Amino acid sequence: MVSSGPEDCRNFSHIFDGFPPPTAVNRSAPMRTPNRSPAKTVTNEDRHTNNESDKARSMSGFKEPSFADRQKAAQQARQNILNKFRSQPGLDDPAVMQRQAEREAQAAERAKAKLARDAAKAEKKLRDAEAAAHAAAQLAREKEEVAAREVALEAERKAARDARYAARKKRK
């Protein structure tokens, strides 16, 4: 026999040892918010509804475009691109011809500069090849001179050895 009414709380007051018995909680009673006036009460359901209505108000400007709307927007975009293309000056326009002439002049300058660079590279390569040939010839001459000195030195040593041998034979 369990009862949850406030009268049952009075019967069990000896259990709480001097504390007042808990009051019954009525969840359907309206809640008061501290920032609002005491006359207006807001329930949980009211809060939920207000948030949804705020969302609906804030999203009310959005309308998902239909297929026809999307087709119309695509056609308008194509038309805008076409109009932009048509508004550009043609090939016979003096400004276009001037820009084309400037581009051709710049291309000619670039080609002339490239030819000059290529000529300078070829000249440098030729100078490097001549310097390498000169260095190789110098090295060959130095090697010949060293070899000739070595041959002369060897002949000189042989002559000295032969002279020593002849002197030794003569003493015997």
14 neighbors 25 (Cβ within 8 angstroms): no
pTM of the model: 0.38
Three-state secondary structure call for residue 93 = coil
Three-state secondary structure call for residue 31 = strand
| Residue in this structure with the two tokens 């032969």, named with its chain if needed | 162
Token readout for 81 is 């691109």
- pLDDT tens for each residue of 85-120: 988 888 888 889 999 999 999 999 999 999 999 999
Nearest to 32 by CA among 41, 20, 22, 24: 41
70 neighbors 78 (Cβ within 8 angstroms): no
Q: How far apart are CA 92 and CA 150, in angstroms?
A: 84
- pLDDT tens for each residue of 119-158: 999 999 999 999 999 999 999 999 999 999 999 999 999 9
Who contacts 36 (Cβ-Cβ below 8 Å, separation ≥6)?
42
Domains of the chain, residue spans: 98-167
- Lowest mean pLDDT of 31-40, 79-88, 117-126, name the range: 31-40
